[in-house]
Amino acid sequence: MNAPTYNFAYLDEQTKRMIRRAILKAVAIPGYQVPFASREMPMPYGWGTGGVQVTAAILGPDDVLKVIDQGADDTTNAVSIRKFFQRVAGVETTTSTPEATIIQTRHRIPELPLHEGQILVYQVPIPEPLRFLESRETETRKMHALEEYGLMHVKLYEDIARNGHIATTYAYPVKVEGRYVMDPSPTPKFDNPKMHMSAALQLFGAGREKRIYALPPHTEVISLDFEDHPFEVQRFDKPCALCGAENVYLDEVVLDDRGGRMFVCSDTDHCETRRQSLPLEGRVGGEAAGVGSSKTSATSIFDAVVHAEGTPPGRTSSGHPPLKGEGSR
């Protein structure tokens, strides 16, 4: 057996062409799910094979690739996918949002607004926004064709009737250019407004389900809602405990088994960049948080957290999320 040799970016050119055709169609019909002959990839289905195929099809030798999972460059799957493209395409990779030409993501949109020429590639598990209302593909395709979205509005209405508000917090459905209802992938609804009129091209790949869809730059993307129950994003009542950023999505980090927790930026690059640009005294956790220090090698987020104890904005130990007005910066 000869050692297998792989084409640039793993996929053969024929397959790439097939995927590009699907992408072009998707861009031409924003929000419409284009079926494509998804290939087996060397990572499992559910690990981002759709996103990986889209990235492989659009990647050129001059591209600079960033891969995030849960907003972070350091999550294991993001590391693994980045390494994959380093190996099979030899492209430059980065963790910096503005420097990347292609950003592959799972579950988040970077906090920093994307600029023209950038492409955001989403990994999508279930591309069909109507799937959990109607399990049959033959039916849901018909519903999209007829623009029959009543079922979705009834579902949202029932949420309000039961809970007083819409109980969907991620994969919150959107309507694209007033036509197709689209699944934004399981990003928290916090990120939905970032899709609207974005300057970047947004591509969505679902490998197992064999669908590609897209939002061309400057596309209208509206989260579904009602006049008397307008769409709202999650709000965090405290800024990031590490960089002090407000109006960003935060991860809850459990500190101990006594209910101690802190909230830090989910977007690691955003957090890192802010901490580097802040004056030393302005940084939460300061030197001890692992920034500005020359010996940062052993610093993990937990070290940063432990050292940040006693810095009031940097921690809550009350066991509940920071409430409005409690210890603001």
Partner 1 sequence: MYVAVKGGEAAIDNAHRLLADRRRGDRSVPALTLDQIAEQLALGVDRVMSEGSLYDRRLAALAIKQARGDLIEAIFLVRAYRTTLPRFGCSEPVDTSAMMVERRISACYKDLPGGQLLGPTFDYTHRLLDEELDGDAEVEPGHQRADAHEPVSRIADILGGEGLIEEDLEQSPLEEPGDINQTPMEFPLSRAMRLQSLSRGDEGFLLALGYSTQRGYARSHPFAGEIRIGEVEVEVFSPELGFAVPVGRVQLTECQMVNQFKGSAKAAPQFTRGYGLVFGQSERKAMAMALCDRALRAEELGEDIVAPPQDQEFVISHCDNVQATGFVEHLKLPHYVDFQAELGLVRAMRAEHAERQAESLPDMKEAAE
Between residue 220 and residue 249, which ones bind partner 1 under the rule CB under 8 A?
234, 249
186 binds partner 1 (CB under 8 A): yes
- HSE at residue 181, side-chain half, CA atoms within 13 A, is 23
User: x-or-dash pattern for partner 1, window 14-33, by CB under 8 A?
Assistant: --------------------
Task: Please give the Cα distance from 255 to 276 (Å, whole number).
Answer: 24
Residues contacting 266, CB < 8 A, separation 6+: 70, 71, 72, 108, 248, 249, 250, 251
**Closest CB 12 distance from partner 1, rounded Å:** 7
Q: Taking the complex as a whole, how short is the minimal distance between the CB of residue 178 and partner 1, in angstroms?
A: 26
Q: Residue 90 and residue 9: Cα distance in Å, rounded?
A: 8
Nearer to partner 1, 160 or 177 (CB): 160
| Interaction mask 192-221, partner 1, x per CB under 8 A | ----------------x-x-----------
- Report if residue 285 touches partner 1, rule: CB under 8 A: no
Residues of this chain, 251-280, that bind partner 1 according to CB under 8 A: 251-252, 266, 268, 271-272
32 within 8 A of 144, measured Cβ to Cβ: yes
Of the candidates 127, 126, 178, 132, the one whose C-alpha atom is nearest the C-alpha of residue 156 is: 132
Contacts of 86 (CB under 8 A, 6+ apart): 93
What is the footprint of partner 1 within residues 145-164 (CB under 8 A)?
163-164
With binding defined as CB under 8 A, does residue 13 bind partner 1?
no
Q: Does position 137 bind partner 1 by CB under 8 A?
A: yes
By the rule CB under 8 A, 39 interacts with partner 1: yes
Which of 304-327 are b and which e, b meaning 16 or more Cβ less than 10 Å from the residue's Cβ? bbebbeeeebbbbeeeeebeeeee
Q: Note whether 325 binds partner 1 by CB under 8 A.
A: no
Query: What residues act catalytically?
Result: 31, 240, 243, 265, 271
β-pair partners for 119: 102, 201
Write b or e for each residue in 102-112: b if 16 or more Cβ atoms lie within 10 A of its Cβ, otherwise e: bbbbbbbbbbe
The whole-angstrom separation of Cα 252 and Cα 255 is 9
Residue 121: which of 19, 240, 3, 228 has the closest Cα? Answer: 19
Q: Which stretch binds partner 1 (CB under 8 A): 105-113, 143-151, 215-223, 279-287?
A: 105-113
Query: In the bound complex, what is the minimum distance in angstroms from residue 64's beta carbon to partner 1?
Result: 16
Q: Which one, of 173, 133, 156, 150, lies nearest residue 228 by Cα?
A: 156
Binding mask 289-318 for partner 1 (x = CB under 8 A): -x-----xxxxxx-----------------
- Does residue number 76 form part of the binding site for partner 1 (CB under 8 A)? yes
Only segment of 63-71, 145-153, 174-182, 278-286 that touches partner 1 (CB under 8 A) = 63-71
Q: Which is nearer to partner 1, 114 or 250 (CB)?
A: 250
Choices 10-18, 24-32, 277-285, 305-313; region in contact with partner 1 by CB under 8 A: 10-18
